[in-house]
Structure 1
Amino acid sequence: MFLKSESFTFNGETVTLFELSALQRIEYLKYLSKEVAASQEEVKEAAILQAELVEKTIRDSAMLLAMSLWHNDIKGPSVQDLNDTVLSSWPVTAIGEADYRVKKLSGLIQEATSESEAGSETEILPAPVEKS
């Protein structure tokens, strides 16, 4: 297997996170596209939009984690079953931290240090699309 992996420990529990495969990356981006299209169909109040944005962020992160965790046992639970497990048993803070780690492993985000700043701030940028 060529996928990068790393251990993720939260509250004394450890799981192995994997980068997304090429197919999973495509599936995840399609999933996000459908979510964005569905959310743009209606005009809503700011409070409702904020609540929906938080929900969408949690659900999107859980799906990303489920895709990553699936590599632990590809003959085991489906991605959808893992998604349901993440949503029902992981705290939001763990979902957020693991989401960030999987995105870094998968090249969906990168850290860029701004040298023009006096400090050593890290800026999160979208990963560049590699041309073949």
Structure 2
Amino acid sequence: MFLKTEQFEYNGVSVTLSELSALQRFDYIKFVSDAEQQETTKHDVVHINQRYLETASLLVAMSLWHSHSLKGTLASPETEMQQIRREVMLGWPADALNQATNRVLYLSGMLDNRHDADPE
């Protein structure tokens, strides 16, 4: 509808990423905030990577949901996004997930893309 979209290609496969809706943005920020509050003193590399993959897969699934074939087919949007998230976790390499995460954050106005601008 009003959401910005962008084609994302990785290793010859293309998907449509969408910016997050206002409700999705709220839910994503709440998820990240809740996760930070539950954090213990674990700061090892494995734990940090696990948290990043959990957060990134949720963000990308929320974005993909807008144009995904599952949209409108299950009991709720949340159920659909969890299924898409599972697909992302099972089928996407970490590098693709990282790149898509950055694009969704940028599309959603949650990441400044100044590194693409000409230096002053």
TM-score interval (norm. to shorter): 0.7 to 0.9
TM-score (norm 1): 0.78
Residue aligning to 2:26: 26
Q: 2:46 aligned with 1:51, yes or no?
A: yes
Residue aligning to 2:63: 68
Divergent runs of 4+, >4 A = none
Question: C-alpha distance in 2, partners of 1:10/1:107?
Answer: 22
Q: Alignment length, in residue pairs? A: 112
1:105–1:76 Cα change, 3 Å:
farther
Question: C-alpha distance in 1, partners of 2:31/2:84?
Answer: 16
Written as runs of structure 1 = structure 2, the 5 A alignment for 1:64-103 is: 64-73=59-68, 74-76=71-73, 78-103=80-105
Give the structure with higher Rg (CA): 1
Question: C-alpha distance in 1, partners of 2:4/2:41?
Answer: 41
Q: 2:119 aligned with 1:120, yes or no?
A: yes
Structure with greater strand share of residues: 1
Residue aligning to 2:6: 6
Q: CA deviation at 1:96?
A: 0.3
Residue type at the aligned position of 1:23: L
Identical residues among aligned pairs (%): 37
Q: Deviations over 1:73-111 (max 9, x none)?
A: 431460000111100100000000000000000000112
TM-score (norm 2): 0.85
Question: C-alpha distance in 2, partners of 1:17/1:76?
Answer: 19
Question: C-alpha distance in 2, partners of 1:61/1:112?
Answer: 21
Give the number of the structure with larger relative contact order, counting CA–CA contacts within 8 Å between residues 6 or more apart.
2
Give the unaligned 5+ runs of structure 1.
114-118, 122-132
Q: Deviations over 1:16-56 (max 9, x none)?
A: 000000000000000001111111xx334x5xx22111111
Residue type at the aligned position of 2:95: T
